[in-house]
């Protein structure tokens, strides 16, 4: 195949200078969000596994409001 290599074309320059950095930023953002989701899921799992006070029936004095 003759002609310029991909990186030497206008489309190649746009890809390497614009598209690739944008993809990397979005992958980093996705990874950060996934790490936050895992941390929250671990916290919730820990709360469910920890012994807690047994649920009780609400009494008439528990209601909020006027």
Residue-number span of the structural domain to which 5 is assigned = 1-48
pLDDT of residue 37: 97
Inside any domain, residue 58: no
Inside any domain, residue 8: yes
Inside any domain, residue 57: no
Inside any domain, residue 66: no
User: Distance from first CA to last CA of the chain, Å, rounded?
Assistant: 82
H-state helical runs in 1-66: 10-14, 20-49
Inside any domain, residue 31: yes
pLDDT of residue 56: 67
Alpha carbon separation from 28 to 21, 36, 37 (Å, rounded): 11, 12, 14
Helix (H/G/I), strand (E/B), else coil: 64: coil
Q: Work out the pLDDT band at 65, boundaries 50, 70, 90.
A: low
Inside any domain, residue 61: no
Give the mean pLDDT of 4-11.
Answer: 96
Instruction: Write the CB contacts of 16 (distance below 8 Å, at least 6 apart in sequence).
Output: 7
Structurally, the chain folds into a number of domains equal to: 1
């Amino acid at each position: 195949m003759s002609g310029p290599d991909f990186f030497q074309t206008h489309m190649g320059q746009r890809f390497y200078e614009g598209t690739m950095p944008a993809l990397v930023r979005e992958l980093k953002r996705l990874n950060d969000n996934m790490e936050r989701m895992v941390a929250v899921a671990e916290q919730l799992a820990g709360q469910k596994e920890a012994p807690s006070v047994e649920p009780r029936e609400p009494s008439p004095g528990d209601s909020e409001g006027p």
